[in-house]
Amino acid sequence: MVCPRCGQTGFKAAAGREEDCGGGPEIRTGSLDCLGCGHGYPVRDGVVDMLAAPSAEVIAQQKATLFADLNSEHEGGGFAVNAENIERYRQQFLAMPAGDGSELYTHGAFRNVANLAPDYFTFVERLELTGGEKILEIGADSCWSVAGFARRGCDCVASDINHHLIVSDVFMREHGIYFERVVADMNQLPFRGASFDVVFCSQVLHHSTDLRQTMSEIARVLKPGGRLALFSEPMYGLLFFWRRRFFGSEARKIGINERIYSLSKWLGTMKSAGMQPELYFSLHYRYRRFEKSLGIFRNRRVKRLFIRSRIYPWLILEPYRVDVVARKE
Ligand SMILES: [Zn+2]
């Protein structure tokens, strides 16, 4: 790791309390003290907070997440993510992303995750992970995805700005795995250059208000030949581009940054950062009803042809979602 204040890479762990949380002993409370500037980065519940001087934007987003947990009306209501509720919904967290058919998944806060699950699994299979990769997940949230990578044997770091990272204990204890959890700003990642084989993001980067800076940080921490895997980011195409103004309006009302970028902006910022993008398209759940009513889409060859077609994203009514794997040169 790198100190966001002084750029030094040496740290001294000041342990308050150590505990075994599944994959061996770790510091649960205490701090990581920079050997360069002396700044102490607090560790709480095993999560190290590397935000030395969080920007106003990051603070606003953290507050908005707390509010959104309780007020996700469009998702059928939510709950505060705290120790009590994590225990209460333990089985539901463990069932992420596909779910266990419970209310939380059919009408509640996990509905979005459940809807995306089939596409998520297809996308991850395409990455053909060997289990030896070093993976950073940005916007790891409750860590269900990073836990899946750790279960494949990958060496993982989960980062986010919100407090949901504490859910990670549920997965580590259940599966006997370990991964690091770091509170970090995606525009100033506290990691050394060329550290990761894969940077994974699921519906995260559209929250960035400075996509160019975010991409440049991602490219910096990727090893040469490493890949950025971007899953299910919103974009707008040629038809109905005006609908982008309605995108994420519910979330925006409570202060969450919701941006919808064009495909050329997505690909352009990756290329500028020195990454070569390759597009993937999932038949997003919004369009699965067409799959059901039109038999032709059930034909695997037709589906593959459709998905591989470069014009496909431009034809779909918006907003649509894009999946990209970009390789650092
Ligand atoms: Zn420092």
* Per-residue pLDDT tens digits for 181-233: 999 999 999 999 999 999 999 999 988 989 999 999 999 999 999 999 999 88
d(CA 93, CA 113): 11
3-state per-residue secondary structure call for 59-88: HHHHHHHHHHHHHCHHHCCCCCCCHHHHHH
Residues 318 and 284 in one domain: yes
* Tally of CB atoms within 10 A around 301: 7
Domain contains 120: no
Domain contains 155: yes
Mean pLDDT of 72-95: 82
Residues 232 and 282 in one domain: yes
Considering the entire predicted model, what is its pTM?
0.88
CA of 3 from ligand 1 middle (Å) equals 5
Residues 293 and 160 in one domain: yes
CA of 40 from ligand 1 middle (Å) equals 8
Q: Which domain holds residue 163?
A: 54-90+126-328
Residues 164 and 43 in one domain: no
CA of 290 from ligand 1 middle (Å) equals 54
CA of 230 from ligand 1 middle (Å) equals 31
Residues 31 and 148 in one domain: no
Domain contains 21: yes
pLDDT for 312 equals 54
Query: Confidence class of residue 74 from pLDDT cuts 50, 70 and 90?
Result: very low
CA of 52 from ligand 1 middle (Å) equals 9
Residues 79 and 174 in one domain: yes
Domain contains 216: yes
Domain contains 105: no
Q: Is the pLDDT of residue 269 over 60?
A: yes
User: What pLDDT digit, counting tens, does each position of 283-325 carry?
Assistant: 555 556 666 666 666 677 776 666 566 555 555 554 567 889 9
Residue 240, φ and ψ in degrees, nearest 5: 60, 30
Say if CB 217 and CB 246 are below 8 A apart: no
Domain contains 199: yes
Query: Confidence class of residue 21 from pLDDT cuts 50, 70 and 90?
Result: low
CA of 41 from ligand 1 middle (Å) equals 10
pLDDT for 66 equals 82
CA of 79 from ligand 1 middle (Å) equals 36
Mean pLDDT of 72-93: 81
Neighbouring-strand partners of residue 279 = 324
Residue 166, φ and ψ in degrees, nearest 5: -65, -15
User: What pLDDT digit, counting tens, does each position of 123-157 carry?
Assistant: 899 899 999 999 999 999 999 999 999 999 999 99
d(CA 170, CA 22): 9
Mean pLDDT of 102-128: 88
Query: Confidence class of residue 72 from pLDDT cuts 50, 70 and 90?
Result: low
pLDDT for 318 equals 46
Domain contains 203: yes
Residues 40 and 59 in one domain: no
Residues 30 and 76 in one domain: no
Query: Confidence class of residue 172 from pLDDT cuts 50, 70 and 90?
Result: very high
Containing H/E element for 234? strand 222-236
Percent of the chain residues topping a pLDDT of 70: 81
Mean predicted lDDT score pLDDT of the chain: 85
User: What pLDDT digit, counting tens, does each position of 36-69 carry?
Assistant: 999 999 999 999 999 988 998 899 888 888 878 8
d(CA 186, CA 217): 7
CA of 51 from ligand 1 middle (Å) equals 12
Residues 43 and 130 in one domain: no
Domain contains 223: yes
Give the best-scoring range by mean pLDDT among 58-67, 85-94, 245-254, 293-302.
Answer: 85-94
Q: How many domains does the chain have?
A: 2
Residues 153 and 265 in one domain: yes
Residues 158 and 304 in one domain: yes
Task: Check which CATH number belongs to the domain holding 244 and give it.
Answer: 3.40.50.150
Query: Confidence class of residue 17 from pLDDT cuts 50, 70 and 90?
Result: confident
CA of 184 from ligand 1 middle (Å) equals 15
d(CA 184, CA 284): 30
Residues 42 and 139 in one domain: no
CA of 11 from ligand 1 middle (Å) equals 8
